[in-house]
Amino acid sequence: MPSVTLSRANRATHELSGRLSRRTPIQSSRAVLQTPRGIQRGYPSRDIVHLRSTRACWSSGLPSARPLTPNARPFKPFTDPQPTTVHVHTYMHTTAKVMTKASRADDSITKSAEIQLNIGSRRIALGIDIGGSGIKGALVDLDLGELVTERHRIPTPEGASPKDVCRVVGELAKHFNWNGPIGVGFPAAIRRGEVLTAANISKEWIGLNVEELIKKETGSSLVKVANDADVAGCAEVEFGAAKGVPGLVMMFTFGTGIGASLFIDGKLVPNAELGHIILANGLEAELFASDAVRSKEDLGMKKWGGRVSTFLVYMESLFWPDLIVVGGGISKKHEKWLPVLNVKTKVVPAQMMNAAGIVGAAAQMASFVPQ
């Protein structure tokens, strides 16, 4: 990991003018916080900067962050004549966001600082989700299943050829200044790194070892690639809607196509390409009920939900699962189409939302990163 000298770090820290109070020196484990709107108490906004001492923050890293809870009450900013102190490692995500905006004068310092501020002593891997329209990545805490940096997205190159896709993956790794463990979700059946199918990507991929190509492009010696639907399902089983559910769990992601993953008592059955199954109406499932088809045919939510129901009823008749999880971007609007479904099996929306592919991809690396 690149190191940043103390003098350069000091320069970058001072660039955060208007954010850090000049009335009180930075203490070893906490900082005085001030914004143009005055001293903040309670739960901070994006304007607040949290820093440990300059030496600890930029040289030796930070301790494990405690993430904000989803139900954290919003704070109400007010002006207080007395300085307010907040433990620095409580709100690590805010620090990285503000640092990225405030230190544009030297991008190398900004990138290195962001990695240092977010990693600390945690087990981290870069998760990359290769999709039909975008290739997304973020650093992930392998124990909490949470993003430690903001997600970065680059549009998928037209044609999705091996050369172009690998170039974008390299750009993502460079964006995070990362050559450590990398996990990737890939839109194809994968066996020991080899691409076996190419439904929504270039046919040039078939037979290539995508893991070796990404290692060469990123400089990382530790890369694992699996089917994109499988890794999204792994995220839900490990951290989300299917955590602790026994028996057979099926997850379907609705996007450019229909991705499917199967789990028996938490164990993945890989490469279940059920989105390509032929339905009773003679149509391939993802050509009938994918989110891309909904958009292309301008279908209303209820009408499209009816198509999804047809697909899920057929899946239910074949597998009789204990739980079905539905994901993909369209799952954010689940209240508009889940009530239309006519299946006996319990159906729940994915909890990881757009982070599922990234978190699940990174989670592949958990057994390779020491405790």
Question: Pairing state of beta strands 182-186 and 124-130?
Answer: parallel
Is residue 40 a contact partner of residue 91, using CB atoms and an 8 Å limit? no
pLDDT at 120: 60
Is residue 247 a contact partner of residue 264, using CB atoms and an 8 Å limit? yes
> Cα torsion for 107, 213, 150, 98, to the nearest 10°?
-10
Q: What is the pLDDT along the chain (371 residues), one digit of tens a residue?
A: 443 333 444 444 444 333 433 333 333 333 333 333 333 333 333 333 333 322 233 223 333 333 433 444 443 333 333 333 322 222 233 333 323 333 333 333 334 334 433 456 789 999 999 988 899 999 999 999 999 999 999 999 999 999 999 999 999 999 999 999 999 999 999 999 999 999 889 999 999 999 999 999 999 999 999 999 999 999 999 999 999 999 999 999 998 899 999 999 999 999 999 999 999 999 999 999 999 999 999 999 999 999 999 999 999 999 999 999 999 888 888 999 999 999 999 999 999 888 999 999 999 998 877 77
Rounded CA separation 207/138 (Å): 28
Is residue 109 a contact partner of residue 102, using CB atoms and an 8 Å limit? no
pTM to 2 decimal places: 0.67
pLDDT at 200: 82
